[in-house]
Structure 1
Amino acid sequence: MTSVSQDKSRPAAPFAFDNSYARLPQQFHAPQTPSTASEPWLIKLNEPLAEELGLDVETLRRDGAAIFSGNLVPEGAEPLAMAYAGHQFGSFVPTLGDGRAILLGEVIDSHGRRRDIQLKGAGQTPFSRRGDGRAALGPVLREYIVSEAMQALGIPTTRALAAVTTGLPVYREDVLPGAVFARVAASHIRVGTFQYFTARGDADAVRQLADYVIDRHYPELKDAGNPYLALYEAICERQAALIARWLHVGFIHGVMNTDNMTISGETIDFGPCAFMDTYDPGTVFSSIDQHGRYAYANQPGIGQWNLARLGETLLPLIDADSEKAVELANTVITGYGERFQGHWLAGMRAKIGLATEEGGDLALVQSLLALMQEGKADFTLTFRRLSDLAGDDGLEGAFAASFENPEAPAAWLADWRARLTREDRSPQERADAMRRVNPAFIPRNHRIEQAITAAVEDADFSLFAALLAVLSKPYEDQPAYAPYADPPQPSERVLQTFCGT
């Protein structure tokens, strides 16, 4: 690795910044210059995303190691750490903020959308508390892999722009190589951002933040009769749809604190996240979730709980009459469950090949999930094999082999086939539609760990590159990467994931 200049005054203009958040009052953020790295090296630049953002790719190829490590602050950047609070595992912490993340600034992408560019792991900020503000290589690679996989799966998510090593050690339980992750988001405003100002009794700031969010993310609400109530309803709708999509692919966020729930409706913070192998609604991977608060099946309810906390911050804006404000907000948050159920069931219908709606569909879905749990079936592989079976009855054996007892799904298959007779799609049309929603490839935990181990222990990024390649086309059969679709062997199973802080 070659050392790169640490001269922060050197000009570079690959970004056309327009930093609206930096123009908010000083209590919203703290100016913070990134720390320097000793020997930055560019692991990966997401060139298609850079082009979408309107960035100068040639400059980033040349200077990306310096820029994304924090050694070179680009022209027009206004680096800052954002202030926010949050409920962490149900306990409120009034001051959190960006403890190891620095927002470089915002750009307008090729679609006219405003996007944040943030460095994660670029050193201490005023919100670091006793932390070092650094990131280790393993969590950076995990976030890169999973965020880009989520994008390819079609799930709203923050994105990976780049990953760099710093040449500096990071001290956790062990000494680890340091790295920085360059993250792109529609914004980094969270439920906890609103909570931060409510906790301080700063009603003006709550209103300013809400107006900013409407301008940036929900401009269609400006002319609503009650724009703040409409904002609350819109955020609840996006989160209900998002969490339903998580469940459709077996994703477990792992740390659904209110500071990890975005106002934009994107998935954010892929610390101890994981994808389920064997189906079990009680699955937990996160090492810090000792009581299963954020287990797979608990995520919809936690989403509602988090959104109720958001509603509390908006009450003074919703109506000057506190009792009326509570009544209006309660109507919205009570309706969240129905919203979620609608999104979830629509997605599950698609996963089992149904294009129409019937009253018994929920029971049909639930009975399959119960069979999968009892039969220790792999979540992803079972639905993919069902997609294949929809187009070819001769593949029933492969589907049945997903279960410990291959005879277990026979009665369910008979009910499923009877249900399909009441629809007019051809078997091939149905199979094709199912393959578009049932991925063949997900970021298997053991594959992520293999890629991380090779990178950390041997500076070998070939497994990381291969995993990114296969996950970029999750709904396509890729014979060259067929083993990546397989569940882990017993010796390969990853039972715990870690946040990396």
Structure 2
Amino acid sequence: MPFDPQAYRPETALLTLGDGFYDAVQAADFPETRLRFRNDRAAAEIGIAGLTDAEWTRHFGRFDPLPGSLPQPLALRYHGHQFRQYNPDIGDGRGFTFAQARDTNGRLMDLGTKGSGQTPWSRFGDGRLTLKGGVREILAAEMLEALGVPTSRAFSLIETGEQLARNDEPSPTRSAVLVRLSHGHIRIGTFQRLAFERDEAGLRTLTRYVLANLYGESGDDPLRLLDLVIGRTATLAARYMAAGFVHGVLNSDNINVTGESFDYGPWRWTSSWDPAFTAAYFDHAGLYAFGRQPEAIHWDAMQLAVSLRPLVEAEPMIALLETFAQRYGEAIVAAFLWRLGRTPKGSGDDQALVQSVERALRDTATPIDRFFHDAFAQPLPDGYGAPWTEVRAALAAYPPRTARSAFWHGEPCSMLIDEVETIWSAIAQSDDWGPLHAKVAQVRAFGAALAG
């Protein structure tokens, strides 16, 4: 049976917002649909791993509605600050929310697209996605999931048979449609649009929707919402840093109010602890550089507070925003010690350890993945010299939370740009998908080992 009767729980919660929040759209009619990647691990979480490839392609390439879920695709409306410049002319321009369902933990999940065709918000874009962009999103999402970063998952990738012209890769290039599974697609920019339009009733409605459907809480208290979002986004920032990940475009329309990372365009992993490292070639000022990501995400959280201002006084929101630094500090301690295979003590020693690790990584340019691999659940090996003396002593005071023997036995598992380009080259030059699938399998094994 393609739909697991015990696990498939379709939803239509988005419709409760009303049609002022979205536009009903149609998917593009693609010349062909060639299934290239299906995430059965994620599909099992919403009870649809039993779909045949033909059924999968019909739903996620031709977008026949999933039974009991949304009757047609919905392009969400939102605004946002893009590199700190407010833009009221954006929205789902090459994607839409296709379906909703509850996962095995009861969370409301959205199936959203990228490259599914034009919408009223496409402006001058073609509504399409390059195949390389889809491959890169698979790799980013899989690696982030393995490293404990809250992230959307690349759910499906289908090649669509069109030739696209792009300025940032050799053209014409192959096209694809991506589906991602996310814990909601409500962005900070979704609230910004309502504030811009002075729609207080809409702000109340959206606040109630997010609290009820994405946080499992009743009411429409904007302070409670802001408190929850600050906590989740501070954790996201910390997990990015511990992972050595640079998102590249942390605009307010790219920040999900659940604190779940998504939308992987010019992402990169930095090989060493370089605060100035940027992922986007167009980020000339380094606004979203590796070391500035916590600042950028905090700034975006401030924009949510500004958007909620019609509903609540400023003073209590300011007090909540001022807790971001403390929450980030607590979250990065937890993230570092998790990658090190240690359990936090809950004392100042934890913060001192993290600071000493950051300092040694920065001063020695040691590869981040190499260090965390070598130090996981064991003493720092010989070969780490004098700059690591403080780290070595600090780690000795933390017993492992799991046996080193259960950890990843190969070389450090990384996702640096050279390997990404090699994987893509195999596809572009000889249509060889083996390296991509092999890397996904490796990353998943690494994630399982890291989780203990």
Identify whether the pair has TM-score above 0.5, normalized to the shorter chain.
Answer: yes
Please give the per-residue CA displacement for 1:88-122, whole angstroms capped at 9, x wherever unaligned: 00000013110000211211223322211122101
Q: CA deviation at 1:71?
A: 5.8
Distance 2:221 2:65 in 1: 38
| Alignment check: 8 A CA contact 1:387 1:431 kept | no
Question: Which of 444, 461, 472 in structure 1 is aligned with 2:416?
Answer: 444
Native 8 Å contact 2:407 2:449 kept in 1: no
Q: Could you tell me whether the CA contact under 8 Å between 1:100 and 1:120 is conserved in 2?
A: yes
2:373 is aligned to 384
Instruction: Choose 294-303 or 457-466, whichever is displaced more.
Output: 457-466
Larger radius of gyration: 1
Kindly indicate whether residue 435 of structure 2 is the aligned counterpart of residue 463 of structure 1. yes
**SS, match of residue 474 in structure 1:** helix
> C-alpha separation between the residues in 1 aligned to 2:187 and 2:407?
34
Provide the rounded CA distance (Å) in 1 between the counterparts of 2:401 and 2:77.
50
2:58 paired with 1:69: no
1:44-443 aligned at under 5 Å gives the runs 44-55=37-48, 57-59=50-52, 61-70=53-62, 72-75=64-67, 76=69, 77-173=71-167, 174-220=171-217, 222=219, 227-318=221-312, 325-351=313-339, 353=342, 355-359=344-348, 361-387=350-376, 389-390=378-379, 395-397=381-383, 400=384, 407-409=385-387, 412-413=388-389, 415-420=390-395, 422=397, 425=399, 432=404, 440-443=412-415
User: Partners of 1:112 and 1:360 in 2: how far apart?
Assistant: 37
- Measure, in 2, the Cα distance between the counterparts of 1:56 and 1:351: 31
Distance in 2 (CA, whole Å) between partners of 1:360 and 1:55 is: 46
How high is the TM-score relative to the length of structure 1? 0.81
Compared with structure 1, are the counterparts of its residues 62 and 144 closer, same or farther at alpha carbon in structure 2 (3 Å cutoff)?
same
Aligned pair in 2 of structure 1 residues 368, 65: CA closer, same or farther (>3 Å)?
same
Amino acid paired to 1:342: E
Contact 1:221 1:231 in 2 (8 A): no
In 1: Cα distance, 2:376 partner to 2:49 partner: 42
Q: 1:66 to 1:430 in 2, by over 3 A?
A: closer
Q: Distance in 1 between matches of 2:331 and 2:193?
A: 31
Q: Structure 1 residues 13, 81: closer, same or farther in 2, change over 3 A?
A: farther
Distance apart, 1:219 and its partner CA: 2.6
Inter-partner Cα distance in structure 1 for 2:76 and 2:148: 28
Query: What amino acid maps onto 2:298 in structure 1?
Result: Q
Q: Residue 57 of structure 1: SS of its match in structure 2?
A: coil
Asked if the contact 1:237/1:339 (under 8 Å) is kept, the reply is yes
Report Cα offsets for 1:215-256 as digits up to 9, x if no partner: 11123353xxx8221111011001111111111110111100
Equivalent residue in structure 1 for 2:15, among 18, 22, 41: 22
In the TM superposition, residue 133 of structure 1 has moved relative to its aligned partner by: 0.2
CA distance in 2, matches of 1:219, 1:446: 42
Mapped to 2, the partners of 1:350 and 1:122 lie a distance apart of 38
Q: Distance in 2 between matches of 1:166 and 1:456?
A: 15
Same amino acid, percent of matched pairs: 29
Measured in 2, the distance between the counterparts of 1:273 and 1:41 equals: 26
Contact 1:152 1:474 in 2 (8 A): yes
Code of the aligned partner of 1:370: R
Deviation at 1:346, TM superposition (A): 3.3
Cα shift readout 1:184-225 (whole Å, capped 9, x = no counterpart): 111100000000111111111111111111111123353xxx
Letter in 2 for 1:85: H
Question: Alpha-carbon deviations, 1:244-290, whole Å to 9, x = none?
Answer: 11111101111000000001111111111111112211111211211
Go from structure 1 to structure 2 and tell me whether the alpha carbon gap of 1:362 and 1:175 turns closer, same or farther (over 3 Å shift): same
Distance 1:285 1:347 in 2: 22
Match of 2:444 among 472, 486, 499: 472
Structure 1: segments with no counterpart, 5+ residues: 1-11, 319-324, 401-406, 479-501
Q: CA RMSD in A?
A: 2.6
Distance 1:217 1:341 in 2: 25
> How far apart, in 2, do the equivalents of 1:150 and 1:131 lie?
29
- Distance in 1, matches of 2:102 and 2:338, equals 35
Q: How far did 1:74 drift?
A: 4.5
CA drift of 1:143 comes to 0.7
Q: Which residue of 2 aligns with 1:497?
A: none
Quick check: 2:244–2:270 contact (8 Å CA) kept in 1? yes
Decide which moves more: 28-37 or 369-378. 369-378
| Cα distance, 1:314 vs structure 2 | 1.0
Alpha-carbon distance between aligned partners in 2 of 1:420 and 1:460, rounded to the nearest angstrom: 43
CA–CA separation in structure 2 for the residues paired with 1:18 and 1:429: 39
Q: Secondary structure at the match of 2:56?
A: helix
Greater CA deviation, 357-366 or 307-316? 357-366
In structure 1, C-alpha distance between the alignment counterparts of 2:63 and 2:256, rounded to whole Å: 29
**Mapped partners of 2:252, 2:405: distance in 1:** 35
> Structure 2: how far apart are the matches of 1:417 and 1:379?
16
Contact 2:9–2:46 (CA<8 Å) still a contact in 1? Answer: no
- Partners of 1:419 and 1:155 lie apart in 2 by 25
User: Cα–Cα, structure 1 residues 136 and 172, in superposed 2: closer, same or farther, change >3 Å?
Assistant: same
Q: Structure 1 residue 477: deviation in Å?
A: 7.2
Task: Check 1:161–1:63 CA distance in 2 against 1; reply closer, same or farther (3 A cut).
Answer: same
User: Normalised by the size of structure 2, how large is the TM-score?
Assistant: 0.90
Q: In structure 2, what is the Cα distance between the partners aligned to 1:434 and 1:289?
A: 41
Partner of residue 8, structure 1: none
AA of the residue aligned to 1:255: V
